[in-house]
Each structure stands twice: as structure tokens, then as C-alpha cells.
Amino acid sequence: MKKVISIAAISAALLLTGCSQVSSAATVGSVKISQATVQSSINDIMAERSKVDSSQMQLEVGEDLNRSQMRFHVLSELLNKVAEKLKITVSKAEIDTRRASITEQVGGEAGLPTALVGAGIAAKDFDLYLQSIIISDKLSQGLEASGIPADQVGTAIQRLVVDIAKENKVTINPRYGVWDAANADVVPVDSAGSAVTPSDK
């Protein structure tokens, strides 16, 4: 009986700890990205892989997959914040139009799952991905209109993201890696080196 009670107590303690400390995969300013959100993307990707022929694809697995999905969600949020600051909006109609265009390019609805698997995008995150692409396109157009040469636009967008990340303070749960503030990226803990400090806990 004592053993049952102790296991229950430990389980309860773990649940409480999980809710208060571990459930957050990352924070971007006041926005929290939960581990459930990231894990749901990972689960979706793994499920879709089983439905298509991925034998010729180089697919991320394990920590690389975890980190890439963490990166996707953090950068999507940062792009949203850049757009908000610069008063850039993306409508549902714009997302639907871009979705239709990409779907046509990959061979219609039948080809979309394979394309998403190859790109490492969860089907449930496709609209979020499209929103980020549209924001990037609008940023590119604005930067070029302001006189930035086309070959420097990518660097300029990255600088905007780096700056907004500094303004909002990004923290990453160490299980996914550490935040590289200089490049606005999530990198492995063991390859971060002295130039990158682990996120605040």
C-alpha cells in the first residue's frame, strides 16, 4: 500500500512540476509556446511520414526534428511581432490564395502531403507557415522599395528578426537547445560554444 501511495505522490509531484516549469517550450516576450504545441507538430510530421514514400528524402529525426519545430514556432512568432510593429497584416484570403498556388505547384491536393513531409512542415502548421512566408514577402517588398538592394534583403529581414527578438527576450527550454541571439536561431546545446549563453530558466 505504501508503494502505491508513494508512486501516486511522485506522479502528482511530477505533474505539478510539469505544469509550473516544464510545460513551456519557449517564450517570446509575453507569449508562451507550450511543449504540447511543439510536440503536436512533431507528432503530425511523424504521422504524415508513414503515409507517403519518403525513401528518397533526407528527413530530420530525434533532436534535430525537435529543434527544427521549436525554431519554426519561435521564428513564426517573431515574424508576427515584426509585422505587428510595422503594421503589416495578412488576411485569411491571402493565406488561402497562397495555399492554392502552392498546392497547384506540387501537383494538387494529392501531392501536398508528400511536399509537406519533404519540407518538414506539419499539415496543421501549413497556414502558419504560409502566413510567415507572406510576411517575409511583404517585408521584402517594403525593404526593396526603401532602397535596399535585392541581394541584401534577406540579411535585412534577419536583422529585423534579431532586433525584435532582443526587444522581446526569447527563452528556450534547454531540452530543445539554446537561443543564438546573434542569428535568431535555436542551436544545439553542445555546439553553442562560448558565444551563446543558455536561455534563462
Which domains are assigned to the chain?
25-191 (1.10.4030)
Alpha helices (runs of H) in 18-91, residue ranges in sequence order: 35-49, 62-85
Q: Could you list the mean pLDDT of each consecutive 10-residue stretch along the chain, which spans 201 residues?
A: 43 41 81 95 96 91 95 96 96 97 95 95 96 96 93 94 95 94 91 48 40
The pLDDT assigned to 19 comes to 40
The pLDDT value given to residue 4? 42
Instruction: Tell me the pTM.
Output: 0.82
User: Which helix (H) or strand (E) covers residue 97, if one does?
Assistant: helix 92-105
DSSP string, the chain: -HHHHHHHHHHHHHHHHIIIIISEEEEETTEEEEHHHHHHHHHHHHHHHTTS--TT-----HHHHHHHHHHHHHHHHHHHHHHHHTT----HHHHHHHHHHHHHHTTSTTTHHHHHHHHT--GGGHHHHHHHHHHHHHHHHHHHHTT--GGGHHHHHHHHHHHHHHHH-EEE-TTT-EEETTTTEEE-GGG--TTSPPPP-
pLDDT score of 189: 84
Task: Please tell me the predicted confidence (pLDDT) of residue 191.
Answer: 59
CB-based contact 131:76 (threshold 8 Å): yes
- Which residue shows C-alpha cell 522581446? 168
